Amino acid sequence: MTSFVHELSFARRVVARAGEIAMQYFDIGIEVDTKDDGSPVTRADKEVERYIRTELAEHFPQDGIFGEEEGEMRKRERTWIIDPIDGTFNYARGIPIWSTLLALEVEEDVVLGLVHAPAMQESFYAVRGQGAFKGNRQIRVSSVDSLERSLFNFGGPNRILESGLWPALTHCVSVTDRQRGFGDYLGFSLVFEGRAEAMLEVGVKPWDLAPMKILVEEAGGAYFDLAGGSSIYTGSCLVTNQALMPEFKRIFYDEVNRYDEVGAGKIG
């Protein structure tokens, strides 16, 4: 099994510097533009991605790059996936829940992923077969095995509503102990660390999900999308621990099937 020692060392250095760049503009009233898809973008998003792309071109010139702001130059063998600032809305409003996401995909398998949240002073990383870490401390998902004792996180309620999952969400609220709408990296990281049992996201992109997939898997948890597989390309995911995966999958995946059967559309 490849250790990816060089890639991990490189990635940790790069995301740390990316965080420094982003922090220069954080909480100072940075101007926000709107992209064609309606999502926000700032000068910091563009500068961070340009920096990461420049570093990748120098150190891994044979690899592909797939980033939120500058598009796709994919290569099947190895492609780096970049989200320069995940949580741009929070970033622009001075809310510290945002992060730089970086992942390496090798032949359609995410083998390395990092989440760096400088305003919250925390970082997470994982390499296939080597565990998941917060800083230098290994982390694992919780061992909670009943919905009645679980904490359930979810992203934007507007996207959940648009995806036809509101009945599933309200059902989940009724059967879980606590619910929090943290969103962005924080909702996921609480699952990696065993502080929450599940996180639901819909209406998102591959760069939002790539590091989350390997982090939860290496932390001993489970990742599934709402199209019936475990892809980062379907626009949705739920991460949880292994014990509760069948229950959450039944609640949300079954609801997607019902939603599709009445012709309302698909998740993504």
| Domains of the chain and any CATH numbers | 5-130 (3.30.540.10), 147-261 (3.40.190.80)
CB atoms within 10 A of CB 73: 14
What does the pLDDT profile of the chain (268 residues) look like in tens digits? 688 999 999 999 999 999 999 999 998 877 887 776 777 788 899 999 999 999 999 999 999 999 877 766 766 789 999 999 999 999 999 999 999 999 999 998 999 999 999 999 999 999 999 999 999 999 999 999 999 999 999 999 999 999 889 999 999 999 999 999 988 999 999 999 999 999 999 999 999 999 999 999 999 999 999 988 999 999 999 999 999 999 999 999 766 565 455 444 444 5
* CB contact set of 47 (below 8 Å; sequence gap of 6+): 21, 84
Q: Contacts by 145-148 with C-beta closer than 8 Å and gap 24+? A: 145/243, 145/244, 146/244, 147/175, 147/176, 147/177, 147/244, 147/247, 148/175, 148/176, 148/177
- Taking the whole predicted model, whether its pTM rises above 0.85 is answered as yes
Query: How many distinct helices (H) and strands (E) make up the chain?
Result: 8, 15
Strand partners, 129: none
| Distance in angstroms (rounded) separating the CA atoms of residues 40 and 217 | 30
What's the pLDDT score for residue 71?
64
What's the pLDDT score for residue 266?
47
Residue type, position 46, single letter: K
Asked if 115 contacts 104 with a C-beta cutoff of 8 angstroms, the reply is: no
Asked if 80 contacts 64 with a C-beta cutoff of 8 angstroms, the reply is: yes
Asked if 80 contacts 113 with a C-beta cutoff of 8 angstroms, the reply is: no
| Distance in angstroms (rounded) separating the CA atoms of residues 194 and 14 | 27
Q: Which of 166, 168, 172, 214 is nearest to 196 (CA)?
A: 172
| Distance in angstroms (rounded) separating the CA atoms of residues 263 and 26 | 43
What's the pLDDT score for residue 150?
98
* CB contact set of 107 (below 8 Å; sequence gap of 6+): 76, 77
